[in-house]
Amino acid sequence: MRKLLERDPEAILDLIEKLFARIEELERRLHKDSHNSNRPPSSDGLNRRERRRQARESKKKRGGQEGHEGKQLKMSAKPTRTEVHTVATCERCNRSLEGVSAKGYKKRQVFDIPPVSLEVTEHLAEYKQCPHCKAVTRASFPEKVTRPVQYGSRIKAFITYLSQYQLIPYERTVEMIHDLFGVRISTGTVYNVNQQAYEAGKDTEEKIKDMLKDQPILHADETGIYAGGSLKWLHVLSTNRLSFYSVHDKRGKEAIEAIEIIPGYTGRLVHDFWSSYLAYGCTHILCNAHLVRELTGIYEDFGQRWALDMKNVLLDAKKKVDNRMVRLNSGTIHTIEQRYERIIKKGLRQNPDRDDGVIRRGRKKKSKPRNLLERLKSYQDGILAFVKDFSIPFDNNQAERDLRMVKVQQKISGCFRSMEGCMFFARIRGYISTAKKHNENVLTALQGLFENRPFMPHGAE
């Protein structure tokens, strides 16, 4: 190092500069969490509670506020059964009160679960011999009764509910069924039941796909999952009434083409600025919640005031939209756009696109503030669309909520053991999510899968 310093001091200074830049980058990474980047809240660790406490703007105490109605247990007008507790003797003189009419009753109710047991229905199909021609005629069993011994649709629906909706692993599902009903099933039975539900849900999934293609606004997102020992991508396309999930080896164009919903879609696609979506000709709406977090990160990491100003523009615009019922007037919209454009110009002056004169292969590297500024400038219409049309959301929370339980499953089980299991989850989860968005009972909808009457969505909005 000393010899290098004596021979080429400029090289040492250049090396020191690079090392300092690397240290700054590593320090910025250490400060990243869910409030200033796209990292999930689960990555915040033990600092999450303290940060949330400091960030709270409201001075109200946690929990229900004064005047809040609440959801306490209330007496039922139609109890399942009634027990009358009689008085036998007088508590003062100890004489018998048998035969004395009651003057009234004080009432108390106990809500509880009735004894749980498995109901076994035996089907007897009689057969008779004709006394005339001696032919034997047999009665038919119900269509779904195909084996000497089998499980019915309700317990199958409950098994699917536990493993695919409540995300209980197969082994614990087996244990719960035994504890509740006294029946020992195997993990193979859980797998077979889920496979039946998967196959029965195909028509519903196809209808969901067809309906999504005609929606005016469509939310898209994707997340990495582990299935069969390798990284896969689970894609979601959804609205407030429909949910569709698909698993693919790829995250980008190859997966989008295979799903066959976004190609040819002409509505407004809400997403988190994943570049693969931008190749398609629909109207692109960008998630402002992601932008707010990125702007927070730029302000905290680089100390650039324009980022905080832009964050305030977006949040102020959201407040104005939230406080209006129909639309903003043209003057308010023009003011928002002017502030937006003025801040971009200020940021670009602070982060010029410098050319150091060195010719390099590939795309020229730019700073994070510069990249974000260029994105804000190029996609202004998609970012500010929510102030002009109130049907357009401020963020992509719809798709993120629909993906949230996938991450919960990964936390519980770590991965899907096979690609098949992952595909089961995607289709059944889309079926359940869509049913719930239509206010259908989950167990009833799942039971329909095993009775050849699957739930079918209706109505776009």
Instruction: Compute the C-alpha angle 318/323/324, nearest 5°.
Output: 100
Asked if residue 294 is part of any domain, the answer here is yes
- Does any domain span residue 2? no
Collapsing DSSP to helix, strand or coil, 295 comes out as helix
Report if residue 326 sits inside a domain.
yes
- pLDDT value at residue 221: 96
**Angstrom distance (rounded) from CA 92 to CA 97:** 12
Is residue 342 domain-resident? yes
The alpha carbon of residue 178 and the mean position of all alpha carbons in its chain are separated, in whole angstroms, by 30
Residue 188, domain member (yes or no): no
Confidence label for 411 from pLDDT (cuts 50, 70 and 90): confident
Q: Model confidence over 47-66: pLDDT tens digits? A: 655 555 555 555 667 766 77
CA-based radius of gyration for the chain: 32
Question: Looking at the 3D structure of the chain, how many domains does it have?
Answer: 1
Which string of b and e fits 341-363 if b means at least 16 CB within 10 Å? eebbebbbeebeeeeeeeeeeee
Does residue 121 lie within any of the structural domains? no
Under 8 Å between Cβ of 256 and 248: no
Query: CA-to-CA distance for 371 and 379, rounded, in angstroms?
Result: 12
Beta-bridge partners for 401: none
Is there a domain that residue 385 lies in? yes
Tell me how far apart the alpha carbons of residues 73 and 70 are, in angstroms, rounded to a whole number.
10
284 close to 277: Cβ distance less than 8 angstroms: yes
For 221, the domain range is: 215-350+367-418
pLDDT digit string (tens) for 328-382?
A: 999 999 999 999 999 999 999 999 986 655 555 556 678 889 999 999 999 999 9
**Domain for residue 232, yes or no?**
yes
DSSP code at position 164: I
